[in-house]
Structures are given as structure tokens and as C-alpha cells.
Amino acid sequence: MTDFDALRGSSAVVAGASEGLGAAFSERLAARGMNLLLIARREAPLQETAEKLTKVYGVDVRCLAQDLAAPNLGEVFREATADLDVGMLVYNAAFVPMGPFFDTSDADIRQMMQVNMFGLVEAVRTVVPGMVARGRGGVILVSSLAGLQGFPGLAGYSATKAFIINLGEALWYELKETGVDAMAFIAGAMPTPGYNKLFEQLAPGGMSAERAAEQALSSLGKGPRCIPGFVNNLVAATTLRLLPRKHLIPLLARASQNMHS
Ligand SMILES: NC(=O)c1ccc[n+]([C@@H]2O[C@H](COP(=O)([O-])OP(=O)(O)OC[C@H]3O[C@@H](n4cnc5c(N)ncnc54)[C@H](OP(=O)(O)O)[C@@H]3O)[C@@H](O)[C@H]2O)c1
């Protein structure tokens, strides 16, 4: 398990920190004594979170209003972290275009790939070498149960989330001897602002973002992936794994019809 005492006083970079799971990660990391660099597009909710966490936990919090679909992210991350001792990276931001793949605009497909994959890769490649040099750190790449198989209605999103799972698991192994713990965090349903825009009802296994973030942090260093909650683990180990794909995928297609249009 990751030694958070050793990371106390270093900085955690949270990408996609203005609300939902990212805000919950930020709070749980501040509670562990980590300073924060919070990144998202909207400045106001970032500042609000920063003020709250500084007041409650006495940590330093910096905010960066930044679109993670921008093309020059390597440069942006390098500049923003140049004077920081980064001990943790949580890449949580995601863009979720919903609906049939061929009804999705080119612009949305591009944005999804930028935010969900290229931004994540740039963040990892910018901050992890410093962690390796210091011999300590943690990397949480936020994925989804939707990344464990194709998901009609969320086809592109589920593909980007599969990318994140495979990258996170492989990095767990590649970094294992360096003192840096990497992990794919395979979240299930959480009633966040993003989720509530897409779905009318909380799916089985649903849990608060705060509980999910806490489970992720306490699982870091224990293995290549973490799925939070008993029901989500059960679903991942049974329905998603054992049901033949030709039966599973139509079931998911039906579930995606519950999405807000
Ligand atoms: N909620 C669920 O049920 C669920 C289930 C499985 C997996 N997940 C995963 O958990 C993560 C968080 O989900 P959530 O439900 O908390 O999402 P959310 O409520 O929509 O929050 C997404 C966060 O990412 C930021 N973000 C989105 N696009 C961005 C961009 N272009 N540039 C910078 N920041 C951007 C948003 O901030 P701004 O809008 O201010 O930029 C926000 O802080 C995602 O990776 C999602 O795939 C969620």
C-alpha cells in the first residue's frame, strides 16, 4: 500500500478537479496532507474548492484553469509543475459524447480522444519521471466499468476507457521497482454532475464519489487495478466477464437507451 506519510507535503496534481470524483479525490488527498494543483476549465469551482481545502486542511492549493483538449499540454504540464515536488497524479477528466458513434461529430470525437487519452498520456509522461527520480509517488488513471467491453451508445468513450485500463495496468508493472505506484481505477456509477446529465437513475453498485475516491487511494500500491465496491466487483467478475459478448453487448445497448437524449 502507498505510504502517504512519505508523500505528505508533496503535491498532488488532479486533472478534472472542479466537481464530482475529481473534487472528491482532491479533498481526500488534502486530508492526507498533500498540497494540490487542481486543473479543470472552470476557474470558479476550482477556487472555491481551493479556499475550502486550504481552510480545512492547511494545505497549499494552486488552481490552473486549462482545457485538457488543448494541443500543447506537455508544455502546459511542464510549466505548471516546474517548481513542484509532485508526489501524486490523478488523471480524472473525461469527455463523454453519447449516442450512436456515427451520429457523433468529428469535433466531439477529437475532443474525447484529446481529453481522455492524449491529455492523460502527456500528464503521465511529464510528471512521472520526476517521481521515479525521487523514488516515490502514485499515479491513478481513472477509467470505468464501461472500459471492460464495448458499450453501444458510448462506443468511443468505452474505447478510451479500455485504453486507460491497459495503460494503467502496464504502468503498474513497469514502475513497480521504482517506488511509484500506478493503478487503473475502474469506477462504477457515482451520482456526480456528469453522471446525472447522462443517466436518469443510479445504476446498481452506485456509490458516492467520496467513497469511491477513498477506496482508490487506500488500494493504491496493492495491485494494477481497483474496482470500488462489492456490487461493482461482482458485476465485473460475473456478468461482464462470463456472459458471452454477443449477449452482453445488446444488454448494454439497452442500458444506454436510459440515457438522457
Ligand atoms: N460518474 C460516474 O458514474 C462514473 C462512472 C465510471 C467512471 N467515471 C469516470 O470518473 C471520472 C470523473 O467522472 P465524473 O462523473 O466526476 O465527471 P464530471 O462530474 O463530469 O466531472 C468531470 C471533471 O473533468 C473536468 N473536465 C472535463 N472536460 C475537461 C476539459 N476539456 N479540460 C479540463 N477539465 C475537464 C470537469 O471540469 P470542467 O468542466 O470545469 O472543465 C470536471 O472537473 C471520469 O473519468 C469518468 O469517466 C465516472
Q: What integer pLDDT is reported at residue 259 of this predicted model?
A: 73
Domains of the chain from N-terminus onward = 4-256 (3.40.50.720)
d(Cα 189, Cα 236) in Å, to the nearest integer?
13
d(Cα 33, Cα 91) in Å, to the nearest integer?
19
Q: What integer pLDDT is reported at residue 198 of this predicted model?
A: 86
> What is the value of pTM for the model shown?
0.98
d(Cα 225, Cα 182) in Å, to the nearest integer?
9
Judge whether 222 counts as a catalytic residue. Answer: no
Look up cell 449516442; give the residue. Answer: 99
Instruction: Tell whether ligand 1 has an atom less than 6 A from the beta carbon of residue 192.
Output: yes
Q: What integer pLDDT is reported at residue 257 of this predicted model?
A: 81
**Ligand 1 atom showing the smallest separation from residue 203 Cα:** 3
Instruction: Tell whether ligand 1 has an atom less than 6 A from the beta carbon of residue 168.
Output: no
How confident is the prediction along the chain (261 residues), in pLDDT tens digits per residue? 999 999 999 999 999 999 999 999 999 999 999 999 999 999 999 999 999 999 999 999 999 999 999 999 999 999 999 999 999 999 999 999 999 999 999 999 999 999 999 999 999 999 999 999 999 999 999 999 999 999 999 999 999 999 999 999 999 999 999 999 999 999 999 999 999 988 888 988 999 999 999 999 999 999 999 999 999 999 999 988 999 999 999 999 998 887 765
Q: What integer pLDDT is reported at residue 200 of this predicted model?
A: 85
**Ligand 1 atom showing the smallest separation from residue 15 Cα:** 34
Judge whether 91 counts as a catalytic residue. Answer: no
52, 55, 57, 157: which one is catalytic? 157
Q: Across-strand partners of 187?
A: 144
